Structure 1
């Protein structure tokens, strides 16, 4: 025997949001016949296009649509039984249990339907003191507002009642005046259900906020819009408790704050901004922007979320500047450029902004073949490009570089406006990014990136990528690892504290040559020109002026330290003197000179390529030249090209009257590059030596002498030379003395050693080792 239907305590309605594919929708309550179930789509009753299963089942059944309802449509299934009784039990008839159960089941189901309807009605609380809730007669309530009196009974009041705040000094105000204090988008019909098009309602609310100078509130929920929205600058501000879901055309800005009037959007508050794109942008059109903020000045902005755009947020100086504001950043997800700091005209600017927080992230499946950046500094052609004083505190980047090693650029900061100054980022976190914290594509200067954590490449990988268009090495990275304190203590590579005391006579390369200890002399016009380091680094040249305490250095001469740059590419040069121009020469691993295809960069000035025959990269200004009355050129970073393995870094004369007192070279404490001079190199040393083991001194009679000519590369007339002799065994009598003099069979690279018996008897010296030393005289 089939089990009789059971009526459980289940609400007789079920709601669904269609996804465009689902055709079966379950109802968990029983019905007695198909007519008991009401089917609605977006509130409209449906009579066809579906079938009903499960009639008479205690657990309910399902509605099967022939065509799935479109995505986003609301599906409502509810039981609506006809309340009637058209049959009776027969007098003295058989009262069957099934018949009685059917009648009782229908009564219970009808009562459940009534209870469900009453849940949507206004009623008094069960614990309330009884009060009259009967409406006044029609004539008494016409053109009046429903209200409650002092005992809670229903009454009516004028449509313009006065309100009074319960504090001393308060004045009566109308309801309309009170409600107009703060505008709500719901006052204009915004539903916030994620389905209805709230665009017209939101724009009407924004226009009203501008017309009244009020602050607009967009309440909870998802506000879908098919049109771009713009809040004019005349509005006092905006608070969002929900979100805007942009489902409009591509190539538009979903939400613009500020209408572009030539006035400042000053001292405004924009709180809780949350804008999402209904479908992911193709990342190709930079007009596809989530939030654009125009001409803000001294404003407070909180951005909770922006997702799915080519550019998530763009701050813009257009007619005037964007400045002196604080932005609290939330989640920037699946945007090709999370935050774009931009100027549109030459009359605008974008300066002095504080950014707090921010999480810039992409999913691994989002446009895996396209580059992406967290923060970009940009400008329109011809627009103001010196964005300055932007400070970021604690931003995090998880940009998905796609593979290991990365196949696309996934870099936190991109500086391509051209002349950015003072960009500072503190406590940066990097995960799944490229091994660069920033890319510089212009003349950015005085930029500092403090990296707290790198999840992929460790701290030494958080460098700066200088593109071929970069004109300055204007960035410094401070990775906070286990040697944090050392980051503020640069390593001294080489120091010439008193150049004048280092000068010595050096005639290897020039008859009137002057050399300098530990340093190479460079020429602005070497003959040939040479092809490698040995040809370009001279031991000494003429035309230097040796003053009492300084060196006069002409424009055609340079003094440089030669360093091994295999690992270290960043150096800092400090010079004392006048009218000095920084210069750099670079060489590859085979010591072949590098040309203009491998540019070097300076930090506070542009690097100019001098071309052949000097192959100098040099600054476009002197180190002591002033910029706005300030000597910032004295602070000079040198960044070598990645191809460089050796480099000569120093100065030349900027004018004919240039003087040099001292020169120092520093690098990061992470490196200890070798200083290259002496040994097999001809430059930077005063002392030369050679050992000769092939001389067997013959027996010498009293007063007799023997000579031997020794080759000593680098020795010249005027050098101080000495010789000594040692035997492997036995005692060498002091009766034989060894003298050395320049000369021999050739005037250069030759030393003649004379063994002279000054004793009164014959001496047999024999074979031994001859040591010859030459020292260039100081001048």
Structure 2
């Protein structure tokens, strides 16, 4: 060396975090020899696999690894010298500067190492009052804990010391008692490293929480388990800061909260639940469940993530109910059914639960040929099926309908328990789902779905899919997509505000028939029977009772509005009267009547099929009947089958005393269906008219007449008839008047027009257009 090492004020240690690629690590402090440098990886001393460059240099050097340390490993380089004297000065000998400098350099370097060691030692602050800090003798400290007395001197205390909270009224408690307030899974050996099997440790911790009634905490990290886990209901709650990775057998529940007992799991808190399956389920076994929550009552539950199961989370009423709880939902990923709301027995229930948030999603490559659902309402065979009062706030669904085949159902809500009531979802977001927000497979009632956003490539609507087993049209969808201003404003399709004032004499189909403006008359026993809309929709029939302010409707008759149902399948019927029963008839695009293979549904009552010859779908109760003292049957939705293109929607008499005052028909503001009557149809009109351009009125002498018979389908004796004439050119002389009467060559469907010259001289009328009008009399 040209000169001695210069020892600067540099700490003799350097720390690094490896990135998996770096091989060269600098040490900025000098060393005298390679043996003076200690190399550690993750705290372990290394003796090979590297070379050292820079020994004897004042600026330090570099360690070169032959293989880069793995990413995340801790690299420590520190100077550790042998404390020994390597020089000897002879009496009266030559004192060489270099030898002296080398000796002093080693002493300074050794002192720097001592200083670094002292920095990591427990010591008194320099400004502290001197105190006795010497350990007691071995016998005096054996089986005792190190402590400090009132003057800060070292002492020992019993292994069962007490603690005192620094507040008034606090009492002394042992450390063991304090630590036992909250249990940690790590107390039982759980590592959370994602490799070791933490299942036995987790189960031991859960059993301890139940035995002591304590709250259990599962700390950070991934806790792998090869066994299903059960947190008994006796535990006061659970907090998860990490996750459970289930690598156990299929067909099991990874985590069950509440093992079931005669008592409810009441007023408890479960936070941060996160359970993932090591491999995604094939979705074939519904016993493959991520989290089962059993018999919870008035609890708070936060689910952060559940992924890869056939059923992500199942809320279960088993021995008792699941109710009055709030669930905060996080990510439900790659589950066939994200959340299953379920009852297992006839003695259990699942009611009155609030759900906040939730993102239900599937990746595009997960079980692409299988249907998937976000939330399902279900029950075991024979179990209680009236799940009611479930409210969802802002759930999001990204269920991936596309795939092979593209007809895979990807529907946010599936109601298949059979009798759900009051299922309400607000602010629903749908991405890549089916064009249905819900599927109803039973008698669900009073369900409301507010769809805030649809992103299925283009807006295709968000209806309700009623399966063949559905018995009620119990759901209403409010699509907010670019139509918020129209919400809450149903569209009036047809209205008979005062039915009695609409009655008129209509004898086309019956000699003593009664017809009604804009409405068709239906028969409960038509002869034939007819096969199409024209045959079933009568212009007027007998057996109606016309009271002063109401119309009596017998059980064999019905009054209905005929609507074009090509695009609109949902209607709302409102009737004012007594003992009236809703009635629906459906017809296809060719106007042929549909049978019971295309059922219509009502919302608050079951639809009964009357069969041939009427082909009525009718409610099983009167609209003014009460349920529990409340007249909810008057709030009636009518849902037509997808095959229907035309429909007759109205009421019939529920008893012989039935009376109708008013009838109205509404639909969603998204639609404006046409009301079918008149024109080429025989029903719903009082006025008939026709024009005739084929009559050239001959020259008429004073007092002479000429007649013309004009065909007018539907005209009958007793109708008010009128005639008028307009010349092809010029002005008709007022001396000729035109009179009309029913009849002519036939007793019906014709009007005889008589032209009479009432002037005192001959009049030539010539060619023109004859207009004929007939009006049915009101009765």
Q: TM-score interval w.r.t. the shorter chain?
A: 0.7 to 0.9
Out of 350-359 and 540-549, give the one that drifted further. Answer: 540-549
Deviation per residue, 1:344-363 (Å, 9 max, x gap) = 11111111111122222222
- Aligned residue number for residue 595 of structure 2: 595
SS in 2 for 1:176: helix
Task: Note the C-alpha offset of 1:375.
Answer: 1.4
Task: Note the C-alpha offset of 1:688.
Answer: 0.5
- Aligned residue number for residue 749 of structure 1: 749
Structure 2: runs of 5 or more not aligned: 1-9, 28-32, 55-60
Structure 1 position 198 matched with structure 2 position 198: yes
Structure 1 position 251 matched with structure 2 position 235: no
Deviation per residue, 1:291-337 (Å, 9 max, x gap) = 11111111111222222222221111111111111112222222222
- Aligned residue number for residue 493 of structure 2: 493
Task: Note the C-alpha offset of 1:76.
Answer: 9.0
The alpha-carbon distance between structure 1 residues 572 and 249, as it changes in their structure 2 partners (threshold 3 A), is: same
Task: Note the C-alpha offset of 1:168.
Answer: 2.4
- Aligned residue number for residue 533 of structure 1: 533
The alpha-carbon distance between structure 1 residues 130 and 378, as it changes in their structure 2 partners (threshold 3 A), is: farther
Out of 229-238 and 587-596, give the one that drifted further. Answer: 587-596
Out of 161-170 and 383-392, give the one that drifted further. Answer: 161-170
**Does the 8 Å CA contact 1:351/1:389 hold for their aligned counterparts?**
yes
Aligned length: 755
- Aligned residue number for residue 158 of structure 1: 158
Deviation per residue, 1:337-380 (Å, 9 max, x gap) = 22111111111111111112222222223323222222111111
Task: Note the C-alpha offset of 1:571.
Answer: 0.7
Task: Note the C-alpha offset of 1:398.
Answer: 2.1
The alpha-carbon distance between structure 1 residues 698 and 352, as it changes in their structure 2 partners (threshold 3 A), is: same
The alpha-carbon distance between structure 1 residues 413 and 692, as it changes in their structure 2 partners (threshold 3 A), is: same
- Aligned residue number for residue 327 of structure 1: 327
**Does the 8 Å CA contact 1:12/1:116 hold for their aligned counterparts?**
no
- Aligned residue number for residue 186 of structure 1: 186
- Aligned residue number for residue 141 of structure 2: 141
- Aligned residue number for residue 612 of structure 1: 612
Out of 24-33 and 763-772, give the one that drifted further. Answer: 24-33
SS in 2 for 1:203: helix
The alpha-carbon distance between structure 1 residues 368 and 15, as it changes in their structure 2 partners (threshold 3 A), is: farther
Structure 1 position 292 matched with structure 2 position 292: yes
Separation in 2 of the partners of 1:29 and 1:292?
54
Deviation per residue, 1:504-530 (Å, 9 max, x gap) = 111111222211110011122223332
Separation in 2 of the partners of 1:440 and 1:129?
80
Task: Note the C-alpha offset of 1:426.
Answer: 1.4
Separation in 2 of the partners of 1:703 and 1:620?
67
SS in 2 for 1:293: strand
Separation in 1 of the partners of 2:126 and 2:600?
84
Out of 720-729 and 121-130, give the one that drifted further. Answer: 121-130
Out of 460-469 and 155-164, give the one that drifted further. Answer: 460-469
Deviation per residue, 1:38-63 (Å, 9 max, x gap) = 999xx99999xxx9587889865668
Task: Note the C-alpha offset of 1:197.
Answer: 2.0
**Does the 8 Å CA contact 1:28/1:60 hold for their aligned counterparts?**
yes
Task: Note the C-alpha offset of 1:115.
Answer: 11
Deviation per residue, 1:427-485 (Å, 9 max, x gap) = 22222222222221211111111222222366661222222222111111122244424
Task: Note the C-alpha offset of 1:32.
Answer: 7.4
Separation in 2 of the partners of 1:271 and 1:130?
49
SS in 1 for 2:486: helix
Task: Note the C-alpha offset of 1:255.
Answer: 1.4
- Aligned residue number for residue 621 of structure 1: 621
Separation in 2 of the partners of 1:736 and 1:677?
36
- Aligned residue number for residue 4 of structure 2: none
SS in 2 for 1:200: helix
Out of 259-268 and 160-169, give the one that drifted further. Answer: 160-169
Separation in 2 of the partners of 1:11 and 1:296?
57
TM-score, length-scaled by structure 1:
0.87
Separation in 1 of the partners of 2:185 and 2:116?
30
CA RMSD of aligned residues (A): 3.9
Task: Note the C-alpha offset of 1:387.
Answer: 0.8
1:353-502 map, 5 Å:
353-402=353-402, 407-456=407-456, 461-502=461-502
Separation in 2 of the partners of 1:401 and 1:270?
33
Task: Note the C-alpha offset of 1:28.
Answer: 5.6
Separation in 2 of the partners of 1:380 and 1:374?
19
Structure 1: runs of 5 or more not aligned: 1-7
Task: Note the C-alpha offset of 1:696.
Answer: 0.8
SS in 1 for 2:325: strand
- Aligned residue number for residue 57 of structure 2: none
Task: Note the C-alpha offset of 1:597.
Answer: 2.6
Deviation per residue, 1:45-91 (Å, 9 max, x gap) = 999xxx958788986566889xxx9xxx9999989999879999999
**Does the 8 Å CA contact 2:693/2:769 hold for their aligned counterparts?**
yes
SS in 1 for 2:211: helix
Separation in 1 of the partners of 2:694 and 2:119?
117
- Aligned residue number for residue 4 of structure 1: none
- Aligned residue number for residue 694 of structure 1: 694
**Does the 8 Å CA contact 2:13/2:79 hold for their aligned counterparts?**
no
- Aligned residue number for residue 278 of structure 1: 278
Separation in 2 of the partners of 1:120 and 1:748?
118
- Aligned residue number for residue 559 of structure 2: 559
Task: Note the C-alpha offset of 1:736.
Answer: 1.9
SS in 2 for 1:768: strand
The alpha-carbon distance between structure 1 residues 748 and 54, as it changes in their structure 2 partners (threshold 3 A), is: farther
**Does the 8 Å CA contact 2:368/2:404 hold for their aligned counterparts?**
no
**Does the 8 Å CA contact 1:517/1:686 hold for their aligned counterparts?**
yes
SS in 2 for 1:139: helix
Out of 195-204 and 693-702, give the one that drifted further. Answer: 195-204
Task: Note the C-alpha offset of 1:186.
Answer: 2.1
The alpha-carbon distance between structure 1 residues 497 and 248, as it changes in their structure 2 partners (threshold 3 A), is: same
**Does the 8 Å CA contact 2:578/2:624 hold for their aligned counterparts?**
yes
Structure 1 position 672 matched with structure 2 position 672: yes
SS in 2 for 1:461: coil
Separation in 2 of the partners of 1:62 and 1:655?
98
Deviation per residue, 1:254-308 (Å, 9 max, x gap) = 2111110011111111122222222222222221222111111111112222222
Separation in 2 of the partners of 1:439 and 1:90?
96
- Aligned residue number for residue 724 of structure 1: 724
Separation in 1 of the partners of 2:407 and 2:514?
52
